[in-house]
A and B are shown apart, each in its own frame.
Chain A
């Protein structure tokens, strides 16, 4: 084989290798991106869960839930209280249901990433009415 045609064959071979490399690289970058996104979502889910548990506990132990939420830095948005954290958002909804014997207070703490709900932590507390002896 002549030296020129051998160099050409090498060039074609190299171009083919680079072409397949580019395809693999594109797929790999996509996989890396997905892994990073999943890792971020796992991080947000984990920390929103820990934070939601803390908030639910504080709400459970308090008689003034609005003050507790304001202390955490939540802001009222319509019927919900919202707090933007690093990489996720916490949303709390409160519902009071009056009954004959007292008030049934229901809290729902949600952790969200963009518009996707990561966790939901509902809790309920019954506050009985004071009965005069």
Chain B
């Protein structure tokens, strides 16, 4: 009696197990697909962010130098603030004007979180250099300018760690060693 009952139930059990197996396969595959999609989306967004950061950094520095390239290009170091600035000196009506590009932490951030920015300042020689005297252009972790012969080299690092190097041939004014 009990043998008969087991025999009639076993195909249904197998069928249920098969359905359950198919369901778990479906669940596994959909999870895999969603995870893979999320991973690819994350990689694409990260890559786009890196590209954008490096493009913005290099474009800002290049255009800032090219805009004032008629002057002398020098590298200044301000010990007090521990800042290295890329400076373009122009003379108008006998007075020297300094355009400086430098990396510094925003002393008065809007959200209270200190962040490092690329700054640009433009002063006459009478005005003493101050970090907050400039305009913050874009977020930047490090900015290391150097002059090699007639070429200006700037090593940049974005907040996400993307590193870029730009080289600019100094045209009109040239570098001052």
Is B a genuine binding partner of A?
A: yes
B18 to A39, Cβ gap below 8 A?
no
A36 to B44, Cβ gap below 8 A?
yes
Q: Does B60 belong to the interface (CB within 8 Å)?
A: no
Q: Does A3 belong to the interface (CB within 8 Å)?
A: yes
State the Cβ distance, A127 to closest chain B Cβ, in Å: 14
Question: Which residues on the B side are within 8 Å of A40 (C-beta)?
Answer: 47
A35 to B169, Cβ gap below 8 A?
no
In the complex, number of A-B residue pairs with CB atoms less than 8 Å apart: 81
> Interface with B: A12-20, A74-82, A94-102, A111-119, which one?
A12-20
State the Cβ distance, A118 to closest chain B Cβ, in Å: 13
Number of B residues near A (Cβ < 8 Å) is 36
The A interface, classified by DSSP as helix, strand, loop or mixed, is: helix
Give Cα distance in the complex from A109 to B11, angstroms: 72
State the Cβ distance, A87 to closest chain B Cβ, in Å: 11
B residues near A, CB below 8 A? 12, 15-16, 18-19, 22-23, 25-26, 29-30, 33, 36-37, 40-41, 43-44, 47-48, 50-51, 54-55, 58, 62, 149-151, 164-170
A residues near B, CB below 8 A? 3-4, 7-8, 10-11, 14-15, 17-18, 21, 25, 28-29, 32, 35-36, 39-40, 42-43, 46-47, 49-50, 53-54, 57-58, 60-61
Q: Besides the contacts A14-B19, A49-B55, A61-B170, what 13 more A-B pairs have beta carbons closer than 8 Å?
A: A3-B12, A7-B15, A14-B26, A25-B29, A29-B33, A35-B40, A39-B43, A39-B47, A39-B48, A42-B48, A53-B62, A54-B165, A58-B169
